[in-house]
Amino acid sequence: MTTDAFFEPWQLRAAFARSLSDMYGREVPAYTTLLEVSHDVNADVVRARGADAERLGSIDRVTAERHGAIRVGTPEEIRQVARVFGAMGMHPVGFYDLRDASSSSVPVVSTAFRPVDREELARNPFRVFTSLLVPGDRRFFSADLQQRLERFLGSRTLFGPELLALADRAEADGGLSGDDAATFLRLATEAFELSHEPVDQAWYRELEAVSAVAADIGGVASTHINHLTPRVLDIDDLYARMEARGITMIDAIQGPPLWEGPDVLLRQTSFRALAEPRTFRTPDGLVVQDSLRVRFGEVEARGIALTPQGRARYDAAIVQGATPDVWRETFPDTEAGLVEQGLGYFTYEVPAAAAGPGALTREPIVYEDFLPRSAAGIFQSNLTEEGSKDASQAGEDRDADWMAGAVGRELFDPFDLYAAQVAASRDRAAARLGVDPESLETPSLGDRSSTTQGAQA
Ligand code: OOG
Ligand code: NI
């Protein structure tokens, strides 16, 4: 990086995603295997399907695309996370309550930091699923444990003052100069590396008995990326190739099944965390070698974003079991069907070589968010112990408003963002055609190659 260059938020975001990926690849070798296999799968899909493979994102976007996951302990910590990600044009989107989505002990609520504008997403869609511990939830923590946990969390520092100051400057100035950008990226990457400080054994094990997730968050004095997920264009093929390489994946691909109709939302699969050597400080002050399983591997395929109606169908279908038969009863088997039934989000596009005024095509909007049941499944598949949960106790109320207050920023609603993309595309198309946006009909007929009469000229 040279001193005179200036790095805009998206450039910081793209560089950060690369830097994290390099760090993770050095530290978690199976992740490198996953990246290699993902690249092979994507190259094969592009070769086989041509332009059609890029309908839900260019191959450049998909190749660079990652999501990460982190877990923090306090509202103050998630506010700091928001400053670091805010510098990179990543904003909190959505609210996920994992406490009920999981049968084992997962005492967190979550949001995802990601770009929200179409152009920004196209430049680099890096997103981070961010979970926040709920120490006041009596189903998991006694009053005494809550108090000790909060004291421990209150006394640690996840992000140093230099990193936060650079983050604030980047947000205020719309980017950073070369030297500052390099420092910011180095400090931000370090903040998410696994710490080699000895772990307080008694404290960690006490929390682990309640919840492995609680121990991962509150049993150590730092945070870490716990997985980094590439995107693939054919997750069934990837699954088979990983197994063939001797890497045991979890039993299932989470989310929708493989079927002949359009891919919607998100399909994910993972391999279990590998035991990594860690040092522990015992109650008698000895430092001993042991291991912890906290970093794992995940991969995902993204489909079309669903409207609230589409999502309601998805939620009803997934509890019946995500089989192709259930899907055939639930969803139309064409994109046109999704449009006609108001189930999916599609934009209005004026083709570059439009046949004439009024010619419109539609393009599907890719799902940029997460799914609570799948997320719970990902958490669950990586827990060594179930932990303990006393369902007779009342949980602590948490919702999107609470999360917005904790983060101290606007929390975007995913549905609003998709709907806004549709509206913006409609206005753009109307302006190009010189007609009133209200006069545009949904381009619902035919497939991609066919056009439909947009304006009543
Ligand atoms: C986050 C799990 C959720 C996903 O892809 O659904 C997630 C975690 O394990 O901290 O990353
Ligand atoms: Ni994930």
**pLDDT band at residue 443 using 50, 70 and 90 as cut-offs:** low
251: in domain = yes
174 to 8, 9, 81, 169, 272: CA distances (angstroms): 6, 7, 18, 8, 39
Question: What is the domain-level CATH number for residue 286?
Answer: 3.10.180.80
**Closest residue by CA, ligand 1 atom 7:** 375
Tokens of 455: 């304006």
C-alpha 150/C-alpha 243 separation (Å) is: 42
pLDDT of 52 higher than 70 = yes
254 Cα nearest atom in ligand 1: 6
Residue ranges of alpha helices (H) inside 308-384 are: 308-320, 324-330, 335-340, 372-381
Range in 225-234, 289-298, 416-425 the model is least confident about: 289-298
Tally of CA atoms within 13 A in the half-sphere of 419 that contains its CB = 10
Enumerate the β-bridge partners of residue 366: 304
Q: How many CB atoms lie within 10 A of CB 329?
A: 11
415: in domain = yes
**Closest residue by CA, ligand 1 atom 9:** 379
457: in domain = no
pLDDT of 76 higher than 50 = yes
347: in domain = yes
Burial class (CB in 10 A: 0-12, 13-18, 19+), 247: middle
The residues, ordered by sequence, that sit 6+ positions from 411 with a Cβ below 8 Å of its Cβ are: 92, 93, 94, 95, 111, 400, 401, 403, 404
69 lies in which domain range? 6-389+404-450
Residue 356 is predicted with a pLDDT of 55
Range in 202-206, 322-326, 373-377, 409-413 the model is least confident about: 373-377
Mean pLDDT of 57-72: 93
Closest-CA residue to 360 (of 434, 423, 448): 448
Query: Cα of 453 to ligand 2 centre, how many Å?
Result: 41
Q: Supply the pTM of this predicted model.
A: 0.94
| Of 196 and 449, more confident | 196
371 Cα nearest atom in ligand 1: 6
**Closest residue by CA, ligand 1 atom 10:** 69
- Ligand at minimal distance from the CA of 106 is 1
396: in domain = no
131 Cα nearest atom in ligand 1: 10
Tens-place pLDDT, residues 4-26? 799 999 999 999 999 999 999 99
Mutate to test the pocket of ligand 1, among 370, 371, 373, 380 (most ligand atoms within 8 A of CB): 370
Strands 66-72, 227-230: pairing is: antiparallel
455: in domain = no
Mutate to test the pocket of ligand 1, among 133, 379, 384 (most ligand atoms within 8 A of CB): 379
372: in domain = yes
Mutate to test the pocket of ligand 1, among 113, 129, 130, 367 (most ligand atoms within 8 A of CB): 129
The percent of residues above 90 in pLDDT, for the chain, comes to 75
pLDDT of 380 higher than 80 = no
Query: Cα of 373 to ligand 2 centre, how many Å?
Result: 12
Residue 452 is predicted with a pLDDT of 36
> Rounded to the nearest 5 degrees, what angle is found at the Cα of 27, between the Cα atoms of 26 and 32?
55
399: in domain = no
Query: Cα of 122 to ligand 2 centre, how many Å?
Result: 20
Phi, psi of 389, rounded to the nearest 5 degrees: -140, 125
**Closest residue by CA, ligand 1 atom 6:** 375
- Measure CA of the first residue to CA of the last residue in the chain; give whole Å: 53
Tally of domains within the chain: 1
Residue 103 is predicted with a pLDDT of 73
